[in-house]
Amino acid sequence: MKLVFATQNQNKVKEVQLLLPENIHVLSLQDIGCLEEIPEIADSLEGNAILKANFVTARYGYDCFADDTGLLVDALNGAPGVLSARYAGNENNSEANMNKLLNALLHHSNRKAHFKTVIALNLNGAQYVFEGKAQGEITSEKRGNHGFGYDPIFKPDGFEETFAELPIAIKNGISHRAKAIKKLLLFLNEMS
């Protein structure tokens, strides 16, 4: 089975391909010739995932899935949330985003947060939605060289390491994206 993963983020494509069995081949947007940025203008993670999946299906005719992920920080009333990638501006700069978040939490003792991933799957003319969460907290400084986005400042519950310090095999067992992908996989296995 071939599915397009509607993302320009090659790190996400690699991470997700590692989670999927060999009989599911993931195509990136580049693989299908979609080089344009798909607008993420919804006010929810689910809305953005649906927008991206529908864009690819409508314009390119592929079965596909798209995700949107946000980091929701308790002390900031769920911010940065749906704006996580553009928290410090439209440049989608991870360093700037992390620095802004760390500064916003300087005087907060509650550092609890969770990542949430929503996946929208367009398959055989129908749409399905899956969700995964990873609970944890925001560290006071960046740690680790693996991963991407907010990984260097997110320490998942039950671990002393940040996502950026954990080996990819461990992160892929506990992450929000992994949990959503597992739900997607269970569904795809039931369909086949």
List residues with catalytic annotation.
68
Facing residues of 132 across strands?
117
The DSSP annotation for 100-168 comes to HHHHHTTT-S--EEEEEEEEEEEETTEEEEEEEEEEEEE-SS---SSS-TTGGGEEETT-SS-TTTS-H
Distance of CA 124 to the CA centre of its chain: 24
